[in-house]
Structure 1
Amino acid sequence: MTIDSEPWLPLAADAPRRWMPGFSVAVVGRFVRAICGEMTDLVLPPACPVCRARLGSTGGLCTACWQSLRFLERPWCERLGTPLPIDLGPGILSAAAVADPPAFARARSAVSYEGPVPDLVHALKYADRTDLAPMLGAWMARAAHELVPDADMLIPVPLHWGRLASRRFNQAALLAHQVGRLTGLPVAARLLLRTRRTPQQVGLGRDERARNMRGAFIVPESKKADLAGRRPILIDDVLTTGATLEAATRALLAAGAPAVDVLTLARVVAPS
């Protein structure tokens, strides 16, 4: 990719791309952006989004917070993606997956919901730290490497329009677009709709969460043809009991998806 393919300054459709030999608007734009970035760093030095420790550059965590992350790796349950204490070979299922199989085919998560992760999720959702999405989305794209070859699209878990209006953005959609940018999968943000504003899930047990989410999602009739025969990856921020993802998966299956995989930034992992 040449430098001219990434202009930083707006251009009219018929504006010439180069104005001096060896230079382009893209080069000038990058220079201005770099200067502005340095000025911003002088006024507001880069800091860790969790503990506020000073950083050398933006877009990351401090060493202490980074070392507190627990990235999820094999061995895990092939269905639920939950870590297993020992590797029993490919295709192994956990007792929970055997006793109560989920509607989705496979679930994968980037990190365990512990250490600095709850603070990162809270900052993204409630403190308008949308600048965290590229970093968190990159973690998710890494965790999705087994799912991507079988997938046709990414579908973020939608918010009800009332909650979207108050929050101003859907964190699942932000993460989905970052995963899509890194994997090449298209994002179908309007294919799945939330039909009612369900109460907050925090503090509810597994059965209460399931009742809370029952019938909360639909695929509009006009969108069912876009889903038929195509396998989506459902995107959300945190997998707790799986009630939200289970309800969303059932709506997609009922609309014609042959199978649905799930990808989240984090999941709650029970102590061994």
Structure 2
Amino acid sequence: MRHREAMAVVAQLARHLAPVVDLVYPPRCPSCGVAIASQAGLCAECWSTLEVPDQDDAAGDGVPVYAATIYNATSRRLVLAYKHGGRIALSRLLARLIAAQLPERGEGGAPPLLVPVPLHRWRLWSRGFNQAALLARELARMGRGEAAVAALVRHRRTPNLGGLGREARERMLSGAIRLDPRQSLRLAGRDVVLVDDVLTSGATSRACIAAIAAAGPASITVACFARVEEGHRGSMP
């Protein structure tokens, strides 16, 4: 069975099973816990508190950033549930919000490569998944590009960067992220979208951008679910 046909079968099965899932696990807003109509959304109040930023920021070297939301109390709860609460089903919702902010791609040409920010193998083992890679795969399913989840490697383990300032993050990340040499030709001449869940100081993004730039891509942009504004970095999970 071809991949597209297999995905269609899975989607049809999911639609048939949805009423059973709702009966066993009544839909709840993943942010506040109130009852909602479906498993794939937020309650009206939480929707209303999500803040959409102006898309005019840069992660460094003029690389544009497309963020679905500004990091606030609601988006923070979603990130905590997704990344630390194991609610990986939220990847579809978060990716859908990211996709809404990405510019439409013109006709023709190769689709952009969706490159997730990598996790060190030990953190991947302890968490069980790379949240950025899941977002990249969901964006690919939505037709927003081609997932390239192995393009970057975090070959050196770094401590949790939450609460650290920009300079401290830069020091911790220096030399920690590299391009997989086997992926270099794949990235050459292609539009690349770096995917992450949260953009804080931009230190991690800049380390990834520097590694990607070595392959000679046509362009680099950053896509994330939440962008942390100055003054809120101490509340990072």
- Do the two structures share a fold, i.e. TM-score over 0.5? yes
Say whether residues 1:108 and 2:62 are aligned partners. Answer: no
Deviation string 1:91-116 (CA, Å, 9 cap, x unpaired) is: xxxxxxxxxx8135211101000031
Question: Is the 8 Å Cα contact of residues 192 and 219 (structure 1) preserved in structure 2?
Answer: yes
Identity %: 37
Q: Report the counterpart of residue 148 of structure 2 in structure 1.
A: 188
CA 1:160–1:67 in structure 2 vs 1: closer, same or farther (change >3 Å)? same
Letter in 1 for 2:133: A
**1:223 Cα deviation (Å)?**
2.0
Q: Report the counterpart of residue 84 of structure 2 in structure 1.
A: 126
Q: Report the counterpart of residue 38 of structure 2 in structure 1.
A: 57
Structure 2, unaligned stretches of length 5 or more?
232-237
**1:72 Cα deviation (Å)?**
2.2
Question: Is the 8 Å Cα contact of residues 192 and 218 (structure 2) preserved in structure 1?
Answer: no
Aligned pairs for 1:143-162 within 5 A: 143-145=101-103, 148-149=105-106, 152-162=112-122
**1:206 Cα deviation (Å)?**
1.0
Q: Report the counterpart of residue 135 of structure 1 in structure 2.
A: 93
Aligned pairs for 1:1-272 within 5 A: 6-8=8-10, 29=13, 34=16, 36-73=17-54, 76-77=55-56, 79-80=57-58, 102-103=60-61, 105-145=63-103, 148-149=105-106, 152-270=112-230
Larger radius of gyration: 1
Deviation string 1:29-51 (CA, Å, 9 cap, x unpaired) is: 57xx63x4333323321111111
* TM-score, normalising length: structure 2: 0.86
Q: Report the counterpart of residue 89 of structure 1 in structure 2.
A: none
Question: Is the 8 Å Cα contact of residues 231 and 259 (structure 1) preserved in structure 2?
Answer: yes
State the superposition RMSD in angstroms. 2.4
Structure 1, unaligned stretches of length 5 or more?
10-25, 81-100
Question: Is the 8 Å Cα contact of residues 191 and 219 (structure 1) preserved in structure 2?
Answer: yes
Higher strand share: 2
Question: Is the 8 Å Cα contact of residues 104 and 249 (structure 1) preserved in structure 2?
Answer: no
Q: Report the counterpart of residue 235 of structure 2 in structure 1.
A: none
Question: Is the 8 Å Cα contact of residues 51 and 69 (structure 2) preserved in structure 1?
Answer: yes
Higher relative CO (CA 8 A, sep ≥ 6), structure 1 or 2?
A: 2
Deviation string 1:8-64 (CA, Å, 9 cap, x unpaired) is: 49xxxxxxxxxxxxxxxx6xx57xx63x43333233211111111011221111111
Q: Report the counterpart of residue 234 of structure 2 in structure 1.
A: none
**1:203 Cα deviation (Å)?**
1.4
Instruction: Report how many aligned residue pairs link the two structures.
Output: 224
CA 1:172–1:4 in structure 2 vs 1: closer, same or farther (change >3 Å)? closer
Question: Is the 8 Å Cα contact of residues 104 and 261 (structure 1) preserved in structure 2?
Answer: no
Measure the CA separation in 2 of the matches of 1:159 and 1:195. Answer: 9
CA 1:227–1:40 in structure 2 vs 1: closer, same or farther (change >3 Å)? closer
* TM-score, normalising length: structure 1: 0.75
Q: Moved runs in structure 1, 4+ residues, more than 3 A?
A: 148-151
**1:126 Cα deviation (Å)?**
1.1
Measure the CA separation in 2 of the matches of 1:7 and 1:259. Answer: 36
CA 1:4–1:135 in structure 2 vs 1: closer, same or farther (change >3 Å)? closer
